[in-house]
């Protein structure tokens, strides 16, 4: 891999369980990665009514929205969940395949919009769909699946909880921001960005806002503006590792 990130300190704010591959790729490109996870992933048990509905039919599709959705659903729910499986994102697809499940649909664009554009989900009259996801988030996917006349059951198998910052990471971030090192911040959701800014000291938050920021798309870029981010914002095509690394390289070359 080309060492496009030599001399750059990359602040990695993803939950620790999701950041290993991104850190590996960034390090191979020459970056020094500073792990500063802002959220924890907490498993959720299904509500009794949801668990009961899950058992009442043979489901046509199970759509997995993340690697967390895959790991927690496979660990805690009866299998198989559905006849066919769809994944949002390459990492989610890899997690399903590593578990021995065939991926029947995956959009090139790792978003809800990308999945809804697939021909498999154009007409869903009489079809039943499980949406395996974290608590909260956008309502676009379940709403649009229902508009297309699918029976949809949302299985919320985890939630994101704001993490208490690790003192070692806090000190490392403070030192990086106070030094003359090149620092680029990466976030993969508006929720992560808000948690990051809420969990640093006021002086470090002000310095953070001056740094280049890499985000996955316009929604998170807009949130950065709402949070008064001053540094340049580079948009990746998606939150997938490869897309974020490519955007990170662009941000580094622009600096």
pLDDT tens, 116-135?
A: 999 999 999 999 999 999 99
- The model carries a pTM of 0.85
Rounded Cα gap, residues 131 and 113, in angstroms: 14
In order of 6, 13, 112, 128, the CA distances from 62 in angstroms are: 42, 29, 14, 9
Average pLDDT value over all residues in the chain:
94
Q: Does residue 166 carry a pLDDT above 60?
A: yes
Q: Provide φ and ψ at 168, rounded to 5°.
A: -65, -40
Q: In the predicted model, what is the mean pLDDT of residues 126-154?
A: 95
* pLDDT attached to residue 137: 79
> Any idea what DSSP says for residue 105?
B
CA nearest neighbour of 208 among 183, 180, 179:
183
Going by pLDDT thresholds of 50, 70 and 90, the confidence category of residue 109 is: confident
* pLDDT attached to residue 152: 98
Going by pLDDT thresholds of 50, 70 and 90, the confidence category of residue 255 is: low
Q: Provide φ and ψ at 31, rounded to 5°.
A: -75, 150
Residues 247, 234 contacting (CB under 8 angstroms): yes
Tens-place pLDDT, residues 34-84: 999 999 999 999 999 999 999 999 999 999 999 999 999 999 998 899 999
Going by pLDDT thresholds of 50, 70 and 90, the confidence category of residue 18 is: confident
Q: Does residue 1 carry a pLDDT above 80?
A: no
């Amino acid at each position: 891999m080309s060492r496009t990130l030599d001399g750059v300190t990359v602040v990695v704010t993803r939950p620790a369980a999701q950041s290993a591959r991104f850190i590996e790729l960034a390090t191979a490109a020459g970056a020094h990665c500073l792990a500063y996870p802002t959220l924890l992933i907490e498993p959720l048990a299904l509500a009794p009514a949801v668990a009961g509905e899950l058992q009442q039919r043979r489901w046509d599709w199970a759509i997995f929205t993340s690697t967390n959705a895959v790991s927690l659903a496979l660990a805690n729910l009866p299998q198989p969940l559905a006849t066919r499986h769809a994944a949002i994102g390459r990492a989610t697809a890899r997690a399903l395949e590593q578990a021995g499940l065939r991926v029947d649909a995956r959009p090139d664009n790792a978003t809800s919009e990308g999945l809804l554009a697939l021909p498999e989900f154009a007409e869903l009259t009489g079809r039943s769909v499980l949406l395996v996801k974290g608590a909260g988030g956008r309502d676009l996917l379940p709403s649009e699946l229902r508009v297309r006349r699918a029976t949809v059951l949302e299985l919320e198998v985890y939630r994101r909880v704001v993490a208490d910052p690790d003192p070692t990471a806090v000190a490392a971030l403070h030192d990086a921001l106070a030094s003359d090192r090149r620092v680029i911040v990466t976030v993969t959701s508006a929720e992560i960005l808000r948690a990051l800014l809420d969990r640093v000291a006021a002086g470090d938050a002000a310095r953070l806002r001056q740094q280049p920021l890499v985000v996955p798309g316009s929604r998170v870029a807009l949130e950065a503006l709402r949070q008064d981010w001053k540094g340049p914002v580079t948009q990746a095509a998606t939150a997938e590792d490869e897309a974020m690394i490519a955007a990170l390289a662009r941000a580094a070359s622009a600096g």
